[in-house]
Amino acid sequence: MATRILRGSVGVQRGMLLAGAVLTGLFVLTALLAPVLAPHGYAQLQDGGGLFGSQQRPGGDHPLGTTITGYDVLSRTLWGARTALLVILLAVSLSLLAGVLLGLVSGYVGGRLDRLLVGVADIMYAFPSLLLAILVAIVVSQGRSSFAGGLLSAGLSVTAVFVPQYLRVVRAEVVRVKGEAFVDAARVIGAGHGRIMFRHVLRNSVRSLPVVVTVNASEAILTLAGLGFLGFGIEPNSAAEWGYDLNKAVPDVTAGIWWTAVPPGIAIVLTVLGITLIGESLNDLTDPRLRRRAAS
């Protein structure tokens, strides 16, 4: 699959895909190997030599320095990749499951149920995505929580933002596919609605989802960082989170202390850039018009 996609790309398109794959691969490896790569724990404030100290300059046992609260910046940045990956997996899985099922039912059944589901999706679209995520976070865990509770809160917050997108994308495809001749043929031979929906309609209505998933994965990181920056994230002694660390680093920047803000900021930018490049490349490859333009 990956080899076929790479062979189908050319020129700048291939460069974007490779760059995105490298950046995303580094992010995933960092998240998986965080316990091995990080010199200290995400909430560790001291070792055998005593307390780390507040706002220590980079060097020695702390290659990227320490934060105002005494956390090791490098360790917090590495552990933050694991938190981001877990939120992406949870949010995308939940939103895919809910959005695809609702879109399938809405497009296939039609009628009043279709109008109701589309109306609810439109209402959710009316809210700014970050505001909707904040509201869900407050309802789920009053804005702050332990690692498990905060992870669930962040995941559900991002899920609430993405479900309407999957619903509308899948519904549009289902409405198109259910009018095809092979669906009518399945009805003629006596296939039930469940078999037609899941075997014939659904499998032909999800071809564009990989592109949507990559876009939403990058948005999930930004939403998680926004929640943490605004104080609705995970407690710092429960998990490392890039948005929270950026929030605490704002006063440091004005005082000339750059090392507490730059690492988590760069981590967010590179991760979002990598996933976005993959999404843009997949979008080009799935659009015949763009593919022909790239090849010419």
Question: Of residues 8 and 121, which shows the higher confidence score?
Answer: 121
Tokens of 15: 């460069």
Q: Tell me, what's the pLDDT at 290?
A: 47
Q: How many CB atoms lie under 10 A from the CB of residue 85?
A: 20
- State percent of the chain over pLDDT 90: 17
Is the pLDDT reported for residue 218 higher than 80? yes
CATH class entry, domain 2-295: mainly alpha
Instruction: Give the pLDDT band (50/70/90) at residue 76.
Output: very high
Q: List the one residue out of 64, 93, 40 whose CA is nearest residue 240.
A: 40
Instruction: Give the pLDDT band (50/70/90) at residue 25.
Output: very high
Q: List the one residue out of 121, 68, 84 whose CA is nearest residue 247.
A: 68
Is the distance from CB of 137 to CB of 145 less than 8 angstroms? no
Pseudo-torsion of CA 150, 156, 162, 167, nearest 10°? 170
Q: What is the mean pLDDT of the chain?
A: 82
Question: Of residues 233 and 166, which shows the higher confidence score?
Answer: 166
Is the distance from CB of 56 to CB of 46 less than 8 angstroms? no
The reported pTM is 0.84
Contacts of 142 (CB under 8 A, 6+ apart): none
Q: Tell me, what's the pLDDT at 77?
A: 93
Average pLDDT over residues 97-103: 90
